[in-house]
Amino acid sequence: MDKITFKNQPNRASRSIEIHSSEATKRDLFTNLYNESQLSGIKITLLDVHFDDSPDNVIKSMIFGIGPQEDPRIMNISQDTFWANLIGAGCMFLSVLIENTTTNSPTLSMGTTPGGNDIFASLPINPKVGDKNGLTTVTLNNVFSLTDALSVFLNHAGVGDTWNNANLNLYFLFKAI
């Protein structure tokens, strides 16, 4: 019998996901995860699941988006801001996609502390011009902490950083390890 359990982690702002299944299929897994997330109130978007090649379809990894909304998008950002405990303990921060909805060209930094830049430093963000989509992708593949959830700070604290009247949408991608 398939069982998905969300557990509060002591001294952490995250929850773990336990999946017990001997014959799970992707469809059943997604259905069960969705139903459990609705009951528990956790805001998670499951993006992909990787199974091994065994007959039991054992899950090798899960990729999910998580944020203060029900999907991994954070919309309409136009000033320095932060998201408390956005990076879950033991999560790999795979990437952040930044969509600039203006023709302006900001240069920004992102870190796990106020004014920090340990995620990226003084990054020029592509503007939306003509048929150009205004997308900037930052690939990280980094684990920031195995034991603590960390906040994320988007800022213009670096030398030469500026918002330049830009408006951004951010899309975060994490992987449980």
pLDDT tens figures, 64-100: 554 433 445 677 899 999 888 888 888 888 899 999 9
Per the confidence metrics, is the pTM higher than 0.75? no
pLDDT tens figures, 115-153: 999 999 999 999 998 777 889 999 999 999 988 888 899
- Out of 2-6, 32-36, 131-135, give the one with best mean pLDDT: 131-135
pLDDT of amino acid 73: 62
Mean pLDDT of the chain: 74
Each domain of the chain, given as residue ranges in start order, spans 3-64, 73-176
Return the CATH class of domain 73-176.
mainly beta
pLDDT tens figures, 42-51: 455 555 566 6
pLDDT of amino acid 16: 44
From its phi and psi, is residue 57 left (phi > 0), alpha (psi between -120 and 50) or beta?
left
Is 167 a residue whose pLDDT tops 90? Answer: yes
Exposure pattern of 33-58 as b/e (b: 16+ CB <10 Å)? beebbeeeeeebbbeebeeeeeeebe
CA distance 4 to 61: 15
> Closest Cα to residue 102, out of 140, 70, 136, 69?
136
CA distance 147 to 135: 32
Report the DSSP pairing between strands 135-143 and 73-77. Answer: unpaired
